[in-house]
């Protein structure tokens, strides 16, 4: 079981979403607690972080496995477009 934390930036981005999108993204992030047995997660190329795909939204996060429990830090919540991974 992993501990999930949100950066201030990610929490603000989540708060700006429509209520239905917010609930969908929050549910997807909640599934990350079962790390590493998560669906729709991919390690990003040439970076140290991961992405979670939730419909048209992408949740960028880092994972700290050095301690117990594992800490997942949500960095950003973005709509999938040309600038998502920049």
Domain range for 56 is 3-79
pTM: 0.88
Is residue 10, in this structure, part of any structural domain at all? yes
Full pLDDT tens readout for the chain, 86 residues: 889 999 999 999 999 999 999 999 999 999 999 888 889 999 999 888 999 999 999 999 999 988 788 899 999 999 887 777 76
The CATH number linked to 63 is: 3.30.2310.20
Phi/psi at 15 (5° precision): -65, -25
Quote the distance between the C-alpha of residue 67 and its chain's center.
19
pLDDT score of 86? 66
């Amino acid at each position: 079981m992993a501990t999930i934390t949100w950066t201030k930036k990610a929490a603000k981005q989540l708060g700006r979403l429509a209520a239905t999108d917010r609930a969908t993204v929050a549910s997807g992030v909640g599934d990350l607690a079962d790390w590493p047995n998560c669906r729709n997660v991919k390690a990003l190329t040439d970076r140290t972080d991961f992405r979670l795909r939730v419909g048209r939204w992408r949740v960028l996060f880092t994972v700290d496995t050095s301690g117990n429990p594992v800490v997942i830090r949500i960095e950003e919540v973005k709509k999938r477009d040309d600038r998502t991974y920049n």
